[in-house]
A = this chain, B = another copy of it.
Amino acid sequence: MPTYKAPLRDLQFVLHEVLDSESHYQSIGAEEATPDMIDAILSEAGKFCEDVLAPLNRVGDEEGCTYNDGEVTTPTGFKEAYAQWVENGWPSLSHKEEFGGQGLPESIGAAVNEFVSEANWSWGMYPGLSHGAMNTIELHGTDEQKETYLTKLVSGEWTGTMCLTEPHCGSDLGILKSKAEPNGDGSYAITGTKIFISSGEHDMAENIVHIVLARLPGAPEGTKGISLFIVPKFLPDGTRNDVKCGSIEHKMGIHGNATCVMNFDAAKGFLIGPEHQGLKCMFTFMNFARLGTAMQGVASAELSFQGALEYAKDRLAMRSLTGPKAPEKAADPIIVHPDVRRMLLTQKAFAEGGRVMMHAASQLVDVVKYSKDEAKAKEADELLSFLTPIAKAFLTEVGTEAANHGVQVYGGHGFIAEWGMEQIVRDNRIAQLYEGTTGIQALDLLGRKVLMSQGESLKGFTKIVHKFCKANAENETLKPLVEKLAALNKEWGEITMQVGMKAMQNREEVGGAAVDYLMYSGYITLAYYWLLMAKTAQDKLDAGTDEPAFYQAKLKTATFYFDRILPRTESHKTMMLSGVDSMMALDEEHFAF
């Protein structure tokens, strides 16, 4: 089991140096969030994650959750850790003071959440789902609903869930069947079966607040006839509601989190938001939830990298091709071998690059949420809606790749449970599926965002990249990287045009190109964030620093990323431009004989 160490220095670099947290918080009127205050919070959070959550990560995997007649018991230690989490006030960090929150910006919660995600993703999903429920109630709930539910969620006494998926539908919520019949007293009787409900039932909190999608009588068919309801496990008067956990899933990973089948049997529910606008209400914060999942990819890369690095320095095998590097030992540590370094540096590039992408996105969330400047908020919202499917799908895809490199560095030992490396692969695999699969994100990016906006959505980002490249075109050290990125940034627009033209002839081209387009976009986006880091590092080195090795490492890793990972765009480009015909040629019945 790799010993988790919160990457405090790196996160400080990202937040304060690369993303200039001080100016950011000033711009949104959150001057209290000084670098010192943030560092103090992160330092505490890091300790909690290292000491309390990380040791429970394997326990959660080994024990899993236990189901018994509607009750779910979480793995040993989970409940106690949650009590401590609540006692320390973590749930309330980024929520409004009027509901008992500490009033700090969302992005600070996201920074803390990075450590939680790395230390113990399955555990983190319990407070994580609550956060989603809180956002929904805060945005769409009545004052009474906020008073009743939000305050208890903010304090952490209660937790929340999101109930969307049904046995016959997940991606396609338009066909969902759960019903809501008016009870005549303003409440509704909710009936239906929901599956894949993360944290749907457990023993960590007194009450669980379910946010449920269902149809009102006579509602229009499809996505425009879905409404949103609050359905608590215990009603405000203490009565047990008719929502029961029917079973929990046995799954590939995230064993510590209960994935529940939830049966609603005329359970009492309360409409939240307008009738038939449920899906829209969900989508308001869906982008935020997707960013949460994107973080899982970064977290997996970081955790796996830490484990692999430790092992690669320790494990001896063979001699370096250029002669022994540890002649006093029986063999050289495997970190001397180029291919082991390729794997480690790939993990590192995804973890550290993904970290910047995530926290840059969190700052955009802040601007959308808190900025008084409407134009700025709108711009941030558009940029965020462009970046979200990339972050969600690309970072979780490369997160799984990174986790697999971690297994590979360990050789056969990587396959053995006790080393903890294979768990990361299993845990992260869900991230490519839930909150919209990679394919769904890719359609969202290319179809709904880029093409539907006639490319404007893409331009919002490429302009930023262009400006950055132009400003640094004469920087001698960065030049080779800047030139590569500038060329790709231009090509990105051109390719989008080509795909758009094809799609005008044949709509299927969008689906045929989508995933390649998303991955292509992801590599370029990550290149931009790596260059941002490289530029910051170069500035620090130029100005003089007592941490030259830290900054040099950033420059070297950036070069590695540009040399050995970024060229993946080439294949994605050729593949997506080859068109959809060879995908559609085969009749359904001729796939196999």
Binding site for B on A (CB under 8 A): 7, 9-10, 165, 168-172, 174-175, 195-196, 249-253, 305-306, 309, 313, 316-318, 320-322, 330-331, 333, 335-342, 344-345, 348, 400, 404, 407-408, 411-412, 414-418, 422, 425-426, 429-430, 432-434, 437-439, 442-443, 506-508, 510-512, 514-515, 547, 549-550, 552-553, 556-557, 559-560, 563-565, 567-571, 574-575, 578-593
Contacts and interface: CB of A to CB of B under 8 A. Distances in A.
Contacts of A567: 571, 574-575, 578
A80 B263 CA distance: 41
A563 B585 contact: no
Contact of A339 (B320, B340, B439, B574): B439
A515 B426 contact: no
A408 B425 contact: no
A415 B571 CA distance: 29
9 contacts: A169-B317, A305-B592, A320-B508, A338-B584, A408-B439, A412-B430, A422-B429, A550-B590, A564-B578
Nearest to A323: B507
A510 B412 contact: no
B510 A306 contact: no
B408 A433 contact: yes
Q: Chain A contact residues: over half helix, strand or loop, or mixed? A: helix
A252 B564 contact: no
B575 A415 contact: no
Given A415-B430, A511-B338, A591 B344 contact: yes
A84 to B, nearest CB: 28
Contact of A411 (B426, B433, B508, B583): B433
A397 to B, nearest CB: 10
Contacts of A556: 582, 585-586, 590
A589 B515 CA distance: 37
Interface centre among A336, A415, A426 (most CB of B within 10 A): A415
Given A171-B317, A564-B575, A588 B335 contact: yes
Nearest to A352: B592
A512 B338 contact: yes
Contacts of A426: 252, 422, 426
Given A171-B317, A412-B165, A341 B593 contact: no
Given A9-B593, A568-B571, A582-B560, A412 B170 contact: yes
Contacts of A404: 400, 429
A340 B415 contact: no
A281 B166 CA distance: 58
B564 A172 contact: no
A172 B583 contact: no
Contact of A588 (B313, B411, B550, B586): B313
Given A439-B339, A571-B570, A582-B560, A593 B550 contact: yes
A301 to B, nearest CB: 13
B571 A559 contact: no
Contacts of A578: 563-564, 567
Interface centre among A342, A434, A510 (most CB of B within 10 A): A342
A336 B581 CA distance: 13
A211 to B, nearest CB: 18
Contacts of A344: 591
Given A170-B412, A556-B582, A560-B583, 19 more contacts: A171-B318, A249-B417, A250-B417, A321-B507, A322-B506, A337-B511, A338-B508, A338-B583, A339-B439, A339-B511, A339-B515, A345-B586, A407-B433, A549-B593, A553-B593, A556-B586, A557-B586, A560-B582, A570-B570
Contacts of A171: 317-318, 411
Contact of A422 (B251, B320, B514): B251
B591 A309 contact: yes
A12 to B, nearest CB: 11
A425 B404 CA distance: 11
Contacts of A339: 439, 442-443, 511-512, 514-515
Nearest to A337: B511
B251 A417 contact: yes
B429 A512 contact: no
A168 B510 CA distance: 51
Given A331-B175, A564-B578, A438 B408 contact: yes
Nearest to A567: B574
B415 A252 contact: yes
A172 B170 CA distance: 48
Contacts of A416: 249-252
Contacts of A407: 252, 429, 433
A536 to B, nearest CB: 15
Contacts of A437: 408, 411
B429 A321 contact: no
Interface centre among A170, A549, A571 (most CB of B within 10 A): A571
A252 B563 contact: no
A592 B580 CA distance: 43
Contact of A433 (B10, B172, B412, B590): B412
A216 to B, nearest CB: 19
A329 to B, nearest CB: 10
A124 to B, nearest CB: 18
Contacts of A581: 563
Contacts of A425: 252, 429
